[in-house]
Amino acid sequence: MKVIQYTPEKLHTALVSNSQYLTKVYSKYTKEEKRLLEEGFHAGQPGSLFQLLTVHSDSDWILAHPEEPEDFEAFYRKPYRKTPNESQSTIYIQTIGSFGEVAAQTDQYMEWLRDYCQAFFYGLSVKLLPAVAVSETKCSFRVNSNSYNLQILTGDLLQFLKKRKPKDAFCIVGITMIDLYPKDSWNFVFGQASLTEGMGVFSFARYDDNFYKRSYAGRLKKHLQPRQKDYSVFDGYYTPPITSSLLLRSCKTMTHEIGHMFGISHCQWLSCVMQGSNHLDESDRRPLDFCPICLRKLQFAIGFNIAERYKTQTSVKASASHTTPHFTKPTEAFNASKLWVCRCLEILEKDQ
């Protein structure tokens, strides 16, 4: 395992900047907010809120996709960075295909994701679009020749989302429990986005603990080769159970990808939900929230009060709102994150 560690001076520059103007902007944070943000300078030390970035194998994202670390100033100066405004301040979520055996289960799961997204991007509105069947997208699909599960083509889904994107949308994200592929030569892809057009599509299919097992219920008979445009193959197609770990992984992926819509690049400073990931183990190592540098980027883009954002996140992770008697919200995997947010609030509310 390799540990990536920057000096406190380097992290200070990444967070605050050497720019006189951006330093002045940073000075407007309260002393409690600065105390929280500057906790990152002590990452990896006993009791620290933030952890160092680690690389466990050559297949991890940082080694496979070398990128220049993006500090706050580089983010601020991006010419194509999207910022919400009065006329475009809503995040839309579009469900594609089923997320459960009954419609009520899909609706319940989507409400949980919406609530989490609303708290994470505190200050913006998050709305659910009516769910659509795969057939409504008119997308191409195939059976994966290695894993024998159904897959749908990302490019076609992005074209569908482009037509569905409301005028007041900051961005629109499509989510599905069906595996994805970007082109015939690729085995699969977790998701694909067009950041300039504010849209993306992502699959949670491979977040099922059993996906890579031969016993996976989504595997089709090897001889089955459905005809294009015959969408009946998706009728009753397997969707994994909504477990606590699947909900956690879904929240990570959704907030990570929407983070990109704001122009936030993959994080290479500290352990952060904006880290890139090439595989499930690497994705699971990511925390559920931002490091201080990425938090400042998001706060600058939206303008939220940091303490109020964390308070809202705490209530959502613990809440059983929108839970029906048949579908209890699986929050066990969120317990460590809830305790972490409470520690952040202790810093933010100290001496108040």
Which structural domains are found in the chain, ordered by start? 2-80+288-349 (no CATH), 90-251 (3.40.390)
The pLDDT of residue 212 is 84
In percent, the amount of the chain with pLDDT more than 90 equals: 58
The pLDDT of residue 214 is 81
Structure-model confidence comparison of residues 102 and 10, the more confident one: 10
pLDDT, one tens digit per residue, over 270-306 is: 999 999 888 888 888 999 999 999 999 999 999 999 9
Quote the CA–CA distance of 132 and 136 in Å, as a whole number: 6
The answer to whether residue 326 scores a pLDDT higher than 70 is no
- Assessment of whether the complete model's pTM goes beyond 0.85: yes
Residue 126, Cα to own-chain centre: how many angstroms? Answer: 14
The answer to whether residue 325 scores a pLDDT higher than 60 is no
Residue 91 β-bridge partners: 126, 171
Q: Region 139-152: what's the mean pLDDT?
A: 90
Own/partner long-range contacts of 210-218 (Cβ < 8 Å, ≥24 apart): 210/240, 211/240, 212/147, 216/147, 216/149, 218/149, 218/150, 218/179
Quote the CA–CA distance of 188 and 7 in Å, as a whole number: 38
The answer to whether residue 106 scores a pLDDT higher than 80 is no
- Is 294 in contact with 272 (CB distance < 8 Å)? yes
Instruction: Give percent helix, percent strand, percent coil of the chain, each to the nearest 5.
Output: 40, 15, 45
The answer to whether residue 219 scores a pLDDT higher than 90 is no
* Mean pLDDT for all residues in the chain: 89
Structure-model confidence comparison of residues 50 and 224, the more confident one: 50
Least confident of 105-109, 171-175, 227-231: 105-109
Confidence of residue 154 (pLDDT cuts 50, 70, 90): very high
Q: Region 147-152: what's the mean pLDDT?
A: 90
Q: Which residues are catalytic?
A: 257
Q: Region 224-244: what's the mean pLDDT?
A: 84
The answer to whether residue 58 scores a pLDDT higher than 70 is yes
The token pair at 117 is: 């997204």
